[in-house]
Amino acid sequence: MRAFFPGIYARSEELVQATRDLDRGRTTAEAVDEQLERDLRELAAVQKDAGLDLLSDGLLRWQDLFRPFAEAAEGLSARPLVRFLDTNTFFRAVLVDGKPRLTEPLPAPDLPAGRWVATLPSPTAFARAADDAADPRALAADVLAPQIEAYADAGLLVLADPFLTREGRVSELVQALAELPDRVPLALWLPFGDASSVLGELAEAPVSAVGVDFYLTPLDAVPEDYPKEIMAGIVDARSSVVEDRSELARFVGELGLRKPAEISLIPNGDLQFVSEPIARQKLACLGDARSPLEEAA
């Protein structure tokens, strides 16, 4: 049973202040980069202390899941801010002004080969952020596929789709997934949504795992003998309350009785929505929740 976190991690207060100072001309880009490197080293240590199995750079350089590609790809640009679900955060929606094509993939993080987790938007989430002005299959083939090739030494690539549980589009997603290379195991993550209505359809999707938010999805929504690994979102990324480790372990034990192909432990969404001190406590919860189950095995 693995424990790890996909998505965007919480920035430290020092990094937040440094980026604000840069915007206001009170510091330099070099000073911000130095603070970012300190945050990355600290995040690596936090993950090691928590006993996580796959490491992440926390996408600390990313403002949201879409903007890096809007800036790096031809035919795309960032547009006005859009509220992200029902949170108090925003993302820049994507403007399509030509044929989308990733000219130069984003660099892979400096993490051990085969032991790190990458996160990208799913093709349908990407299309949704572009107000459906681009076809998910085209975005998969011409933007996401070359990025996945650049992440070939990752241990797992997680495709985040916060809209799928609300809007469906599973068949459209499955068609787009066929455009992606299979050099890295693919997982689909459904943050901040009730996955009840889509888990059945996703059983045949070309992914090895499905990430489920168990704060919004009832346990019995997972079909018995589910053929995919369930990435169980058991710590709540939208709450500053730190979970009880024994309660998490009890819940995961009950999930195990439904006999999915595998179980891994993750947050139910990006940890950027809580402060960094709370985020690190939640990572510790993931490792601690796994311990009693491993001892009982």
What is the pLDDT tens value at each position of the chain, 297 positions in all?
999 999 999 999 999 999 898 888 888 989 989 999 999 999 999 999 999 999 999 999 998 999 999 999 999 998 877 777 766 667 778 999 999 999 999 999 999 999 999 999 999 999 999 999 999 999 999 999 999 999 999 999 999 999 999 988 899 999 999 999 988 999 999 999 999 999 999 999 999 999 999 999 999 999 999 999 999 999 999 999 999 999 999 999 999 999 999 999 999 999 999 999 999 999 999 989 876 555 544
The pLDDT of residue 231: 98
Whether residue 196 contacts residue 156, with contact meaning beta carbons closer than 8 Å, is answered with: no
Would you say how long the chain is, in residues? 297
Q: At what angle do helices 276-296 and 245-256 cross, to 10 degrees?
A: 50
Query: Rounded CA gap, 233 and 217, in Å?
Result: 10
Identify the CA nearest to 271 among candidates 81, 47, 21: 47
The pLDDT of residue 173: 97
The pLDDT of residue 291: 62
What tokens were used for 27? Answer: 């510091």
- Token look-up 């969404």 returns 269
**Which residues share a beta bridge with 25?**
none
The pLDDT of residue 168: 84
64 residue type, one letter: D
Q: What's 219's DSSP letter?
A: G
Query: Rounded CA gap, 214 and 123, in Å?
Result: 23
Residue 77's Cβ-count burial label (10 Å; 0-12, 13-18, 19+) is: middle
Give the list of residues 6+ apart from residue 216 with CB closer than 8 angstroms, or none: 192, 193, 194, 195, 268
Query: Which contacts (CB < 8 Å, 24+ apart) does range 148-151 have?
Result: 148/120, 148/180, 148/181, 148/183, 148/184, 149/105, 149/181, 149/183, 150/105, 150/106, 150/107, 150/108, 151/108, 151/118, 151/184
What tokens were used for 184? Answer: 């890295």
Residue 281's Cβ-count burial label (10 Å; 0-12, 13-18, 19+) is: middle
What tokens were used for 193? Answer: 């949504």
What tokens were used for 159? Answer: 């495709």
Query: Rounded CA gap, 177 and 184, in Å?
Result: 13
